[in-house]
Structure 1
Amino acid sequence: MGNSSEISFFVLATYNNVGHLRYFYFIVLLLWYCSICVANTVLIVVIFADRRLHEPMYMLLCNLLVNEISGSTSLYPLMLSQMFSDVHEVPASLCFLQMSYIYTSASVEFCSLAAMAYDRYVSICSPLRYTVIMNTGKVSVIVPLVWLYSFALFLFQLIFVVNLKYCDNVINKLFCDPQLLAALACSVSVLSSITELFFAILAFVIPFALIVVSYIRILVVCFNTSKENKQKAITTCTPQIVSVSNLFVGCTLTVFEAKIEASHLPDQVRVFFSVYLLVCQPIITPFMYGLNLPKVRQACKRFLWSKKVFFLQESL
């Protein structure tokens, strides 16, 4: 583990303030985690089961839903176990793993939304060429590339953080954060800041810029089209716009909590800022797409009705 072997564990100090409410928090978080897994899994199963949804847009959506489950799994099990722990110590290897996977998941989220924004851009701005530019074959290449890109990106960051020499092991957060881990290093170099900025640009800024450009072009086309086509474009783009807006709000709160002196804020507010994105985004995604996209909504109704009929027949 390089120089970091001098410290074998990190302490997540925020859990020290849980107190007698630990059982309440545990139940709420467990129910929330189960809701995330169930809501996203239902949509994944519906998309796979209904051949009418085997289109680029819904394949990309399925990838996004898988990422919501995997990203939540990197946070909630450890969080739930810490609720009943008195020492809140996390092995250094597990801390590094959680850190890298949470940020890999965030990168996959941004890149997936960028791919979905491009898909909508092609569908609305170049409908006659859509099947040529975007098809299931190309999506089957895009999805693995999104994951490989994100894993490779944060593998380099993981190597960088692991080889730092740490002079403290107390993290004032609910999970292992690379920015706070870097702050625990014995010496903070210019290279550390440059590396952090480099990863932020590649993982978040560039995909976000692609999303913004795609939707600006979509809006330009919508202003010059018929009312019916405009309404159709708004319907299909609304879930993505909400997801991107929520990501922007979550990232803003995360940066505020990490970069700006927030010690004067109540502990509950700081905790809310730090986990807002990890808590809200995984549940917003399935409900926004499930409720707002007509084809997905109809497919869910068909799927649930077929299961209901099956169980009724079995009971008879």
Structure 2
Amino acid sequence: MKMANGSLIEFFILAAYGELGHTQYVYFLFILLLYLSIVMLNILLISTISLDRQLHKPMYFFMVNLGVNGLYGSLGLIPTLLVHVLSGTHEISRPACLVQIFCLHTYGVCEFTTLAAMAYDRYVSICNPLWYDRIMTPLKVFAFVAGVWLFTVSKTSVTVVLTSQLPLCGMHIEKLYCDNFSLVKLACRDTTVNNVYGLISLFLSVGPQLSLILYSYGKIITISLKASSNSRAKAVHTCTPHLISLANFSIACTFEVLQSRFDMSKVPRTFRLIASVYFLVFTPLLNPIIYGVRSEVIRKSMLKVLNIKRTTNQAMSNQTQRRV
């Protein structure tokens, strides 16, 4: 409810849902299946790397962080999305909206920063193999990941606090979920502070990471051009999963920007829905598939983990039958 001075709104209407009609059940089942797949695949990837000592290396530790971040981002947003798909009101409270903003921003920044770190890891592995163990020590990798989460949470907390203090004069958000830019557009007062901090935050979230990615792959390309054909083939095989994952995340970010910055009302509803959930669904869904399919080591370890679970279940079943 909005007060006379426009200073307080207790809930928002997520207008992008519109009238789904009977198709809401189709969308619900589709998103639910994708969500369950995200949970199962990422838990399998995390379990595989955690249980196999052969995979206790920096690159795989970064993969675990991608898996954890994927579970975090999808858990923070998709269950609410499923509720709204079935709901006829499509309303969300202001606190829940701010929580969604926090989850969305921390998920995106952590994902891109981890991908940047993985690019640097590939650069060290290919260009400085003899120094790899000294440069990419487990302690440094752990400290980096912990620092990323601390930085991301702190930076995003400031964004959410600044947005929460804005008096708003509208309650319609033209998206399937809340994002910071949509709320700032509803403000009744000058948003210079929010905009300036937003630009600083954007630079810190993209600038250093993109520079590291370009530097790493620039070095990899330079070294590969001077190397033998066999070495180039190994470099391509090593970098391909990461490049596919990076491209997938870039597509997701492009869809997210289009949804936030431009009027999508004339775009077909199906495309808008896919574009909206791509950032939340397809990035965490495809990451474990990309690395599981491309990496023979992970593939074999996953089969071992699945076989262990199957053997354990059979043993428990046999014990139960004997007792009976």
TM-score by length of 2: 0.91
SS at match of 1:256: helix
SS at match of 1:6: coil
2:259 to 257, 279, 293: 257
Which has the higher mean CA deviation after the structures are superposed, 250-259 or 291-300? 250-259
Q: Root-mean-square deviation (CA), in Å? A: 1.9
User: 1:101 maps to which residue?
Assistant: 103
User: 1:152 maps to which residue?
Assistant: 154
- The offset of 1:314, in angstroms, is 5.0
Q: Which runs of 5+ in 2 are unaligned?
A: 319-324
Q: Distance in 2 between matches of 1:306 and 1:264?
A: 52
- Indicate conservation of the 8 Å contact 2:163/2:194, yes or no: no
Structure 2 residue identity aligned to 1:69: L
Which has the higher mean CA deviation after the structures are superposed, 64-73 or 246-255? 246-255
SS at match of 1:185: coil
Summarize the Cα distance change of 1:84–1:243 in structure 2 as closer, same or farther, 3 Å threshold.
same
Q: Distance in 2 between matches of 1:106 and 1:77?
A: 18
Give runs of aligned pairs for residues 62-77 of structure 1, distance below 5 A. 62-77=64-79
TM-score by length of 1: 0.93
User: 2:322 maps to which residue?
Assistant: none
Q: Distance in 2 between matches of 1:185 and 1:113?
A: 34
- The offset of 1:312, in angstroms, is 4.7
- Indicate conservation of the 8 Å contact 2:7/2:168, yes or no: no
Q: Distance in 2 between matches of 1:268 and 1:205?
A: 33
The answer to whether structure 1 residue 209 and structure 2 residue 211 are counterparts is yes
Q: Which runs of 5+ in 1 are unaligned?
A: none
User: 1:304 maps to which residue?
Assistant: 306
- The offset of 1:306, in angstroms, is 3.4
- Indicate conservation of the 8 Å contact 1:118/1:214, yes or no: yes
Structure 1 residue identity aligned to 2:266: H
- Indicate conservation of the 8 Å contact 1:222/1:230, yes or no: yes
SS at match of 2:12: strand
- The offset of 1:227, in angstroms, is 2.4
1:89 to 88, 91, 96: 91
Identity %: 37
What CA deviation, in whole Å up to 9, does each residue of 1:58-85 have, x standing for no partner?
A: 1111011110111011111101111222
Q: How many positions carry a matched residue from both structures?
A: 314
Structure 1 residue identity aligned to 2:64: C
Structure 2 residue identity aligned to 1:283: L
What CA deviation, in whole Å up to 9, does each residue of 1:85-115 have, x standing for no partner?
A: 2222211111101111111010000111111
- Indicate conservation of the 8 Å contact 2:6/2:169, yes or no: no
User: 2:292 maps to which residue?
Assistant: 290
Q: Distance in 1 between matches of 2:270 and 2:194?
A: 29
Summarize the Cα distance change of 1:315–1:163 in structure 2 as closer, same or farther, 3 Å threshold.
closer
- Indicate conservation of the 8 Å contact 2:38/2:281, yes or no: no
